[in-house]
Amino acid sequence: MEPAGTFPAGSNLNMSELAHELEFDGDDTKDPHPFDSHPALLTRSLQAGMGMFAGKWKLAILWYLEQRPRRFGELASMLPEVTAKVLTYQLRDLEEAGLISRTETVGPRHTEYALTDSGIASIPLLQLLWQWGNWYLRREASGHCAADETSSNRL
């Protein structure tokens, strides 16, 4: 079990460090909130980012592909609740968004999916979402409601 505030898969960053790295990209001279004065650009950027990940199975697909490239059948067995048709559509969407690549081999014939550089770059975001989801589920399991004083505590 990872210590609180750290991410799996060998990352030594805690959430604050990850947020700082994503926001500043290693350049401390950048304005930390460059889009504050441009709400339309902020909204457009958020919608573009959210659109790439919209879809019930896309985040899980990316999560499993982060471990290693996988064939369609492997992904289908890891996601037993998804139909082959929906999995195919989700994989196509991720490929069109440039987050995964699709490689077909002839002998033996099979198709393999892997993360692209853009897909790899999305992993810290998935890790952050994974950690927040775990925090939320633990909080809900312990009986906290959204209106209590713990709801304002930061991760």
What's this model's pTM, rounded to 2 decimal places? 0.65
When comparing pLDDT for 56 and 146, which is higher? 56
Q: Report the domain count for the chain.
A: 1
Query: 100: domain range?
Result: 56-143
DSSP state at residue 14:
B
In 3D space, the residue among 69, 60, 57 whose CA is nearest the CA of residue 112 turns out to be: 69
Model pLDDT, residue 114:
97
- Domain membership of residue 64 (yes or no) is yes
> Across-strand partners of 113?
70, 102
- Domain membership of residue 71 (yes or no) is yes
Instruction: Give the domain CATH number at 77.
Output: 1.10.10.10
> Please, which contacts does 59-64 make with residues 24 or more away whose CB atoms are closer than 8 Å?
59/126, 59/129, 61/87, 61/90, 61/91, 61/94, 61/100, 61/113, 62/94, 62/99, 62/100, 62/115, 62/119, 62/122, 62/123, 62/126, 63/126, 63/130
Omega before 80 within 30 of 0, i.e. cis? no
81-131 pLDDT, tens digit each: 999 999 999 999 999 999 999 999 888 888 999 999 999 999 998 999 899
Give me 127's structure tokens: 């890790």
- Domain membership of residue 155 (yes or no) is no
Q: Which of 41-45, 105-109, 133-137 has the lowest mean pLDDT?
A: 41-45
Residue 27 binned pLDDT confidence (cut-offs 50, 70, 90):
low
- Domain membership of residue 68 (yes or no) is yes
Q: Which of 20-29, 31-40, 64-73, 103-112 has the lowest mean pLDDT?
A: 20-29
Q: Residue 144, by phi and psi: left (phi above 0), alpha (psi -120 to 50) or beta? A: beta
Mean pLDDT of 73-79: 94
User: 3-state DSSP call for residue 150?
Assistant: helix
pLDDT surpasses 50 at 3? no
How big is the CA angle at 46 (ends 42 and 51), to the nearest 5 degrees?
150
